[in-house]
Amino acid sequence: MVMIYLIIFGGTMGSVVKDIWSIDVEDDTISTWDKMVVDQRFWIVVITVAILPICLKKEMQELHIVSMGLFYSVLIFIFILFLQLCFLGANYFAEGEPITFQQFLKPAEDADFVSIMSALSVLLVAFGFATNLFPLYSALKVKTNENCQVAVRWSVVIIAMIYLFLSLTAVFLFGKQIEYADANIMENINKELSVDPDRWESYVMRVMFLVVLACHIPFIFFFGKEGLLIMIDEIDRKSISANLNKRLQQLELRDQ
């Protein structure tokens, strides 16, 4: 997952630099430096080196600043996209292929078994947060089941609202162009300048998206690292199993 985020960061950063400096990647006469700064591999190395000290933090509380940056950058990203929809109107970037609300009330005409299974797989991935449950619990300041339930409940509600609002806003703004970009909102935002060269918001949203990605990576790495360490500890010392067995024995003695 970390590698996926790094690849997306590199591609997005390369597109931002390409548009700002007006670099024609198909021009064979451009300098080596220009070729390098639009290459996603260059920015993957840069962001990896930059955030490595943050990724190696031992406690989740040390990632507080990163979490605040993630939260506010997501809000700014959604707010700008929503303002575009309000001021520019629905289907402004649809390029003649709008999507109306009525199309949400019936199955897609071109839906087939593969597309339906793909949609379901996306829903299943949404429940992948369960793998972070133990690292999340261990990072709580007050480790109780009630606090863990509250944290999970609020996170699921907030994320669901963000995804729903962002998806509807993007669909009504870009129309069927969303489908042509494989439902990748960033691909559509990258192409805003080709539809309207005055859309400076495209730069701001891409920068905010880069901040979101950069702030996401330390958390993904942290949970992955903690989960791996828990598995190694269980295989080597069986700490969790031993504690559970001890707890079960205490409960059995209490019931006798």
Task: For residue range 86-134, list pLDDT tens digits in order.
Answer: 888 776 776 666 666 566 555 566 667 776 776 676 666 666 666 667 7
Nearest to 72 by CA among 248, 224, 215, 228: 215
| pLDDT digits 0-9 by tens, 159-178 | 888 888 888 888 888 777 66
Average pLDDT over residues 191-199: 73
Task: Provide the 8-state DSSP code for 56.
Answer: T
Q: Are 61 and 139 in contact (CB under 8 A)?
A: yes
Q: Are 211 and 73 in contact (CB under 8 A)?
A: yes
Q: What angle do CA 149, 151, 155 make, to 5 degrees?
A: 120
Q: Examine the domain organization and report whether 200 and 132 are in the same domain.
A: yes
Is residue 64 domain-resident? no
Q: Examine the domain organization and report whether 111 and 150 are in the same domain.
A: yes
pLDDT for position 46: 92
Q: Examine the domain organization and report whether 87 and 10 are in the same domain.
A: no
Q: Examine the domain organization and report whether 151 and 96 are in the same domain.
A: yes
pTM recorded for the entire structure: 0.69
Q: For the chain, what is the radius of gyration of the CA atoms?
A: 23
Both tokens of residue 108?
Answer: 């897609």
Model confidence at 84: pLDDT above 60: yes
Q: Examine the domain organization and report whether 205 and 117 are in the same domain.
A: yes
Torsion of CA 144, 128, 223, 207, to 10 degrees: -120
d(CA 129, CA 148): 13
Write the single-letter amino acid at 78: I
Domain that holds residue 8: 1-56
d(CA 84, CA 90): 9
Is residue 87 domain-resident? yes
Q: Examine the domain organization and report whether 2 and 99 are in the same domain.
A: no
Is residue 135 domain-resident? yes
Cβ neighbours of residue 139 under 8 Å, at least 6 residues apart?
59, 60, 61, 226
Q: Examine the domain organization and report whether 24 and 121 are in the same domain.
A: no
Q: Examine the domain organization and report whether 23 and 146 are in the same domain.
A: no
Q: Are 134 and 46 in contact (CB under 8 A)?
A: no
Q: Tell me the pLDDT band of 28, cut-offs 50, 70 and 90.
A: confident
Q: Examine the domain organization and report whether 22 and 136 are in the same domain.
A: no
Q: Higher-confidence residue: 146 or 225?
A: 146
Q: Tell me the pLDDT band of 219, cut-offs 50, 70 and 90.
A: confident
Q: Examine the domain organization and report whether 191 and 76 are in the same domain.
A: yes
- Please tell me the total count of domains within the chain: 2
Q: Examine the domain organization and report whether 78 and 15 are in the same domain.
A: no
Q: How many residues does the chain have?
A: 256
Range of weakest confidence among 15-19, 194-198, 235-239:
194-198
Q: Are 97 and 177 in contact (CB under 8 A)?
A: yes
Task: Summarize the chain as % helix, strand, coil (round to 5).
Answer: 80, 0, 20
